[in-house]
Structure 1
Amino acid sequence: MPVTDVITDPENLTMTVIADLAAPVERVWKAYSDPRQLERFWGPPGWPATFTAFDLVVGGRARYTMNGPRGEQSSGSWEFLSIDGPHGFEVLDSFVGDDGEPLDGFPSMRMTFGFAPSAEGTRMTNVSYFDSVEALEQVVAMGAVEGTRMAMSQLDAVLQDLRDYAQGKGTRLEVLDDTHVRITRLVDGPQELVWRAHNDPELMKQWLLGPDGWEMTECVVAARAGETYRNSWAPVGDGAGQAFGFEGEALLVDAPRRAVTTERMQGTEGPVTLNDLSLYEEDGATLITLLIEYPDAETRDMILATGMIDGMETSYARLEDLVLV
């Protein structure tokens, strides 16, 4: 987690984010000045940002929208006030509506970003300046402190070469808070094929099996938001185990990058989880990221204790063999 501290200062009307990053200043500058890299970490997990404009000149504007897992949206814009690459930049940050104009009742704030060499690589200092204590408190109440920490937790993967970051490390689990975990796995294959393997029933039946000795007996895919899916498994032949399955609804489908679904065990009322799958390709490899939202910590721990991660690693190893064929 690169964030060292988030400091709110009502007396000086500021919020300061300090992060120590294991990359040189020039590499950090590239991550913040390239919209395709910036959108990989600007929104917190579950709320990825898409930059639709990025005019990196004094007086130019950037515009982005963060897309929530249930179709929610929050948009913002930057007006670049000063630029001193690779050492930093300054913007006027505003909440905006669909027309790109600032929203009434929401604060605008001046933000500075500074990148300085440090023993670890780079110290990033981001200071937001507010017009009033009320504006600062409003942004904090909207979850800015924790949202910033969670968003910055994604930056390590951006600053490293994707293969250096994830190849050979298997399926990795990060517990983000009481109700969210993030699971990542690098697959040596292109995004399009990995997406197809997640959405073609015949391909899914070849890899999405968990431990050896099981087969997928039913696979109904939800291709669009609002459709339902249903997957079932059973032991092969006279193997040990009891048949089971999961079902749910697609809330968002953005092929070939992202799909958000609900999930519950068939024949039950819950617990229901929210599964947010995203795929990112770099240099012919695809990082699978699955953000899972649980109703509570008890449910999270109960499900993780089933050996879910080991079963996912076995399945992902099959998936990699499949896309490399």
Structure 2
Amino acid sequence: MTATVPQQMSDDDILPEQQQPSTFALMMRNRSVFWGGVLLLIMAAIAIIWPFFTGSPTEQNVMSRLKPPSAGFWFGTDFLGRDIFVRVVHGGRISLVVGISVAAIATVIGLFTGLVAGYVRWLDAPVMRVMDGLMAIPAILLAIAMISISGATLATVVIAITIPEIPRVVRLVRAVVLTVRDEPYVEAAIASGTRLPAILIRHILPNTIAPMIVQATYICGAAMLTESILGFLGAGIPPEIPSWGNIMSEGRTYFQLTPWIIFYPGVALALTVLAVNIVGDGLRDTLDPRIARKMRA
């Protein structure tokens, strides 16, 4: 008898069930993630790059007051002769900065607080009662109160919008921690003498990444809407700094005569928030293990 030497399998010989696509490939395969990401990148690119090629958003031209959209003024002008297109482009920066900043700060603080509250049993009750108290306060009223006390600046607006979002993150992370803290691998880590920070980072934190990414997208969209609401009410970014909320607030007096002052910033806000929410829905479907298994099949 002659011994047979096993041949090395090539990539083409691997069974289909062994060729499982990566998480990034699944995201790109998801239409919601792809098209929502494309729309979001377009809006972000316009807000970041285009202002370098336009004039000042505060430049006034009395002779061009309340002009309708035309070749010279793509989105028309307002009651001070300012170009609406230039102001909308510059206002996109404010919305993106507020949305990303609020999502990042709320996610980091909420993640740390939720991990500790969910794992350390004696801290669970007091921390969650504080979070319940914050959630009982309407977000808009809390933001208006903080801004009226400390002044309307970009940093104040970010902090005022972040505080009501933190309890939502804490509750989500706590729920995940409660489901995994009694798993055998966590108990094995405790029995082997692993310290608490290492247990939280190595064994519990990875289970919170997927839901936190999805939650961060929703917080980003909600923060943009809240900032626009505050600006529309006159309690947000100062009027000299163009934001979509401020632009719509200034144009409501002339809405029946010049509806484009409100229409274009409203469309920009709707498209940006829609793109963020579409990406969030796609990420939820991709990162959900049950749905991901079906997509890999």
TM-score range, shorter chain: under 0.3
Select the structure that is richer in helix: 2
TM-score by length of 1: 0.21
TM-score by length of 2: 0.23
Report which structure shows greater RCO (CA 8 Å, sep ≥6).
2
Structure with bigger gyration radius: 2
